[in-house]
Amino acid sequence: LPSVPRGDPGPSLLAMIGPEFIVAIGDLLAKCQRTNHPHTNFGYRRLRNFSGNVPTPAGEETFEEWVEQAMQALDEWDVPEAQKKHRLTESLKGPASEAVRNLKLSKQDCTALDYLNILQEVFGRTEKAAELMYQYEHTYQRKDEKMTEYMRRLDKILHQILIKKGAEPATIDKIRMQQILRGAQPLDPVMLQLKTREGNRELKYLERIPAVREEEALLDEKSLRGEKEYLLTEADSLDAYRSEVDRQEQLVVPISTESAAEESTIPAYSEIQKTVKKVQEAQVELEQAHTDLCRVILKVAETQTDMQMFLTDMRTTGVAVASGQGPSNESPGASAAPSSKKRCFSCGEMGNFRTQCKNQRPEGKRVEEFLKPLEGLLSTAQAGNARGPK
């Protein structure tokens, strides 16, 4: 075999690969990693639902609140554009979802920012950027309103101005500081501290918020401490006043013992008079009750007498009928006479009435006379019951 001529070795494989090839391979790997991210949903918090219905249903947010969170999420999501659009559309429903659907029909290559823009056009505020800027410049701090609350109101309007592209993001801090200095209360203590701090230079947002909160906390602490000191001072003055009153009472000497005794007996005498008056009233009431009771007893006695007379007549009539002696020999007037006789309840005689009686007797005697027949009737009833049943 012929021998291979020995000469200079050929160029190596590494020498044939240039730096351009290595850079291209690196770009390809980076692109593959971005397109095929294995953890695109790791730590992802879904946006709250938004439908655009008015009034806002329970569990949803208003458009201003929702779009603010969505814009912050778009800046923070490190995912492809398709994934961003998917995350936005999964939180939309109802009229909001219809607005995005109509946008995709009219524009094929739309982005997630286009979704937010169309939602802003449909559900956002209708004021133009110039109108919002005018409203912002004429927003002033209310009386007794804290500086933080006033700044929060300004930030809401300023955010709408940014959405309408009425101001550049780089000038936001300057615009905010100018309006705070112009619209705050002239004697607001926090505002005075901000004006005098560091030569009245314009503070950025991150510098101004802590400064305002520190001043408000300091003012609250001072007011609370002042209230405590005021309460302590009031308590001390009240104690001093009480001690002075006690001292003056000890220095006061009674004018005389007799006058003090008289003053002490006056209330006791008035109490005795009241008690005597009550006893007299009770005595009058008892006498009235006794009189009423006597009247009731008299009525009962009269009723008993009438019943006794009626029973006597019935017995007489029954005996006459049983013996066969009728009232035929007597005249009709004579037969009717016993039934027509009436006893006077005043004098006890027959033939007149109490209203026509001229011989009225004392009340006590009449009661005794009426009670005697009642006792006789009761004794007769007891004697009849003693015989036992027939």
> For each of the chain's 390 residues, which pLDDT tens digit applies?
455 555 555 556 556 666 777 888 888 887 776 555 545 555 677 888 888 888 888 888 888 889 888 888 888 888 888 888 898 989 898 999 999 999 988 888 888 889 998 898 888 888 888 999 999 999 998 888 888 888 889 988 988 888 888 888 888 888 888 888 888 887 777 777 766 665 555 566 666 677 777 777 777 776 776 666 666 666 666 667 677 666 666 665 444 445 555 555 677 778 888 888 899 899 899 988 888 888 888 888 888 888 888 888 777 766 555 555 544 444 444 444 444 456 676 666 776 666 667 666 665 566 666 667 667 666 665 555 544 444
Q: Which residues partner with 350 through β-bridges? A: 343
**Cα 49 to Cα 57: distance, rounded to the nearest angstrom:** 10
| Whether the model pTM is above 0.75 | no
For residue 48 the two structure tokens come to: 């709250």
3-state secondary structure of 327: coil
Question: In the chain, helix, strand, coil percent, each to 5?
Answer: 70, 0, 30
Residue that has been written with the tokens 């995350």 in this structure: 87
Q: 310: Cβ–Cβ under 8 A, 6 or more apart, which residues?
A: none
Backbone angles phi, psi at 348, to 5 degrees: 90, 0
- Residue 74 carries which side chain, given as an amino acid letter? L
Domains of the chain with CATH codes:
23-123 (no CATH), 129-222 (1.10.1200), 283-306+340-378 (no CATH)
List of long-range contacts for 26-34, beta carbons under 8 Å, 24+ apart: 34/80
